Every structure is written in C-alpha cells, then in structure tokens.
C-alpha cells in the first residue's frame, strides 16, 4: 500500500471512532503534566505541520537533517485543551489529508534515495543510527507509525493498519 493511501485510510477510519469519545473522557488529564486524548491529537497536528515542512524541504536541501521542536511547549502554546473536540478532530483530519496529497506527489526516487546525511537518531519515533543510511520513505513510515502509536493511546480498540514495526 502506498504511504498516502495508508495515511488516508488511517485518518478516515479513526475520525468516526474519535468523534464517539465522550467529551469528558476526551479532555480528561490523568495528571496535570500528562496529555489528555485531545492534547494527544493536538500533538499529532503539530507533528503533521512539522513533517509537512520536512517532506517538502527534503528534495530542495539535499539532505534529511531537520529541526526538531519542543512537543510539550507546542501543545501548551496551541492550547488544544481549551478548544472544542470538533475543532481539534477536524484540524487533525484536514492537516493529514493535506499531507497525504503532498506524499502522493513526491517522486519515488526521492522516497527511496538512501543517505547517511540525516538526523533520524534525534527526531525519529523509531530512530536510525547516526551512521546508518536511510531515506525520506523511512521518515514517512515513521510518521505514520507515530500517528498509530498515539491513536492506540486515544482509542481503546485501535486496529493498526501499518505493518512497519
């Protein structure tokens, strides 16, 4: 299955299930420093924005070294907890459908091109050793895994779609 198709399948399958979560449960924070399910989805919005730029810049910059971001601060500053569940869910869906269109239009050669000029050991969910070769395709698979990892925390009955790990 192509990355874009997989991403769209994940989003379109998850959204109706997320919408069924009662607001009290969706916004419930187990501890003040822990994210609610709604904030987890907000974190995935931030991740989509960051990865959108990474995927776009990969071809132009000639390497796969990308800036990280302070996930906790972004969730706080974007104030996902204060928003309505409908707004957060809609934004998450939209950003990922937008990202799927970009992924669909990336050249296959770019996705498969191997390089050891990356910092996936610092920014990846499933890090690649600093001296090992990797590709933009790996980063996209890692992004999809990241989504599913958190959907598994948001949805009690989440069924993984990717066979990446």
Is residue 110 situated within a structural domain? Answer: yes
- Name the nearest CA neighbour of 125 among 33, 56, 50, 53: 50
Is residue 83 situated within a structural domain? Answer: yes
Is residue 161 situated within a structural domain? Answer: no
Which domain covers residue 53, as residue numbers? 3-154
pLDDT digits (tens, 9 = 90+) for 9-63: 999 999 999 999 999 999 999 999 999 999 999 999 999 999 999 999 998 998 9
Q: Is the pTM of this model over 0.85?
A: yes
Is residue 111 situated within a structural domain? Answer: yes
In the chain, the number of structural domains is 1
| pLDDT for residue 58 | 93
pLDDT digits (tens, 9 = 90+) for 81-97: 999 999 999 999 999 99
Is residue 132 situated within a structural domain? Answer: yes
| pLDDT for residue 72 | 96
| pLDDT for residue 163 | 65
CATH number for the domain spanning 72: value is: 1.20.120.450
Is residue 15 situated within a structural domain? Answer: yes
């Amino acid at each position: 299955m192509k990355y874009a198709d997989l991403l769209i399948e994940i989003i379109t399958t998850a959204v109706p299930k997320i919408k069924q979560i009662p607001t009290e449960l969706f916004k419930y924070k187990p501890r003040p420093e822990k994210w609610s399910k709604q904030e987890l989805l907000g974190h995935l919005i931030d991740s989509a924005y960051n990865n959108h730029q990474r995927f776009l810049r990969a071809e132009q910059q000639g390497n796969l070294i990308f800036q990280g971001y302070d996930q906790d601060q972004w969730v706080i500053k974007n104030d996902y907890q204060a928003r309505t569940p409908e707004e957060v869910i809609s934004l998450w869906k939209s950003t990922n459908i937008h990202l799927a269109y970009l992924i669909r239009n990336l050249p296959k050669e770019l996705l498969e091109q191997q390089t050891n000029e990356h910092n996936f050991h610092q920014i990846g969910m499933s890090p690649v050793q600093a001296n090992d070769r990797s590709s933009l395709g790996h980063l996209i698979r890692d992004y999809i895994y990241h989504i599913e990892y958190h959907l598994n925390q948001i949805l009690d009955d989440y069924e993984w779609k990717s066979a990446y790990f």
